[in-house]
Amino acid sequence: MSTDNQPVKKICIIVSRGSLDGIYPALIMANGARMEGIEASVFFTFFGLNALVEKTLDHLKVATVGNPALNMAMPLLNLPITMPFPSCVGVIPGVSAFATGLMSREMEKLDIPPVREFLELISDSGGKLFACRLAMDMFKLKREDLCDRVDDVLTVGQFYEDAAGAGTHLLFT
């Protein structure tokens, strides 16, 4: 609920991180909104485009270097959550793949769908998926590089137009 006690009618989510742990929060929030009958638009910019590019969306990884919150995953290894994950370990070949596999198995146990399936769920339920025009140009991507669930490639101004309206909330991940 918003602060004026009006029901939320629409959320707009901006995704700028391309790691598995950077993309899933947006997908979960957008899918949850659609399940509650709330309009949802997700705008993928910069490295968040990783979730929309056909060649990369099935190969997203957990960021193991420079991720100060990786201690959250320590219980998956039967270690205390208070034990920090040293960034220097994350540079060892295979550590990111190991962490990604560990997280993916836990998500599967919880019946959390893979990224491609999540995009389909959001799209099929009426949610909108947008790619950022500037980021597309910067990374030299074309519309045909994206998965078919993308509704459009928008400028920031066009996304703000889509976000306009009562009860709109912008969330950044």
Is residue 159 one of the residues assigned to a domain? yes
Q: How much is the pLDDT for 71?
A: 81
Q: How much is the pLDDT for 63?
A: 85
Q: How much is the pLDDT for 118?
A: 94
Q: How much is the pLDDT for 92?
A: 86
CA distance 128 to 124: 9
If asked whether residues 54 and 119 sit together in one domain, one would say yes
| Predicted confidence pLDDT, tens digits, the chain (173 residues) | 445 677 888 899 999 999 998 899 999 999 999 999 999 999 999 999 999 999 999 999 988 887 778 888 888 888 888 888 887 888 888 888 888 888 889 899 999 999 999 999 999 999 999 999 999 999 999 999 999 999 999 999 999 888 886 456 666 76
Nearest to 129 by CA among 15, 38, 6: 15
Q: How much is the pLDDT for 168?
A: 61
Q: How much is the pLDDT for 78?
A: 85
Prediction pTM value: 0.87
If asked whether residues 109 and 123 sit together in one domain, one would say no
Q: How much is the pLDDT for 7?
A: 80
Question: Do 130 and 162 contact (CB within 8 A), yes or no?
Answer: yes
Question: Do 94 and 6 contact (CB within 8 A), yes or no?
Answer: no
Q: Note down the domain range covering 92.
A: 63-113
CATH code (residue 24): 3.40.1260.10
In sequence order, the 6+-apart residues with CB closer than 8 A to the CB of 165 are 9, 10
CA distance 167 to 173: 19
Is residue 48 one of the residues assigned to a domain? yes
Is residue 136 one of the residues assigned to a domain? yes
Is residue 33 one of the residues assigned to a domain? yes
Q: How much is the pLDDT for 85?
A: 82
The tally of domains found in the chain comes to: 2
Q: Which single residue is written with the structure tokens 């099929």?
A: 124
Q: How much is the pLDDT for 1?
A: 45
If asked whether residues 120 and 141 sit together in one domain, one would say yes
Q: How much is the pLDDT for 103?
A: 87
If asked whether residues 126 and 50 sit together in one domain, one would say yes
Among the candidates 113, 129, 145, a domain finishes at 113
Is residue 2 one of the residues assigned to a domain? no
Nearest to 85 by CA among 106, 69, 63, 101: 69
If asked whether residues 109 and 149 sit together in one domain, one would say no
If asked whether residues 100 and 133 sit together in one domain, one would say no
Q: How much is the pLDDT for 2?
A: 47
